[in-house]
Amino acid sequence: MREIIFDTETTGLDPRAGDRLVEIGCIEMVNRVATGRTWHGYFNPERVMPPEAERIHGLSDAFLADKPLFASRAQEFLDFIADSPLVAHNAGFDFGFVNAELAMCNLAGLGMERMVDTVALARARHPGAKNSLDALCTRYGIDRSHRTLHGALLDAELLAQVYVELLGGRQIGLELVAEIDIVTTEFSMTVRTERTFRPARPHRASAEELAAHREFLKTVKAPLWGGPYSAD
């Protein structure tokens, strides 16, 4: 199954208030394994970058001044994601901005049925706990030491690892010998081993064993059964 893990950076919190998309980073995963294929873009938002937003992602007006408009790469983005499910952290936020940009290009928006929100997954798995991307990386032991600022591609790479952990993680180094048959489903793995069947062992005592037992019982003084022993 192909999935796209993605993240966005923006000029603010609300596209309805004029905030714009300035960066998208996408990671392709197939069967929950990153393939190495990515898609990334910076975009000129055609507006001034608010200082509070720049403090989060570090993308300045000067840096974005020569970047293309989203419209010039919109179809390239749509071709990359194709019809795959789209995984994002607080996905409603990212979908809102991408769909606002697509609307300005007179292109159809992303269907919400494609959305996989890792915040919702995290809340279901860790109710009451902090579920920011940083908190989840800490919980699952994912190295984020190189994340000094938010960045769409970097955050998508971290989220791809978090997503796998939220769905149960991987058993690294699991080695299965040839005679084991593995049955894999989307969420579970059942291991069936081949068995060697042997004939049942006889459990009735032999004549020699019964004779030896009778001789032993003759040596027992004051037996609990209160009388002479009979093996018959």
Tell me the fold of 2-166.
Nucleotidyltransferase; domain 5 (3.30.420)
**Residue 26: beta bridge partners?**
6, 39
C-alpha Rg value of the chain to the nearest Å: 32
Q: Report the chain's mean pLDDT, rounded to a whole number.
A: 85
Q: Hey, which bits of the chain come out as E strands?
A: 2-10, 21-30, 33-42, 86-88, 115-117, 180-184, 189-193
Sorted by where each begins, the domain ranges of the chain are 2-166
Residues 57, 89, 126, 150: which is the catalytic one? Answer: 150
Stated pTM of the model: 0.71
Tell me, yes or no, if 203 is annotated catalytic. Answer: no
Q: Residue 183's pLDDT is what?
A: 35
What share of the chain in percent tops pLDDT 90?
Answer: 69
Compute CA distances 89 → 13, 54, 142, 158, 196, whole Å.
14, 20, 16, 11, 49
Q: Which two tokens stand for residue 144?
A: 């984020």
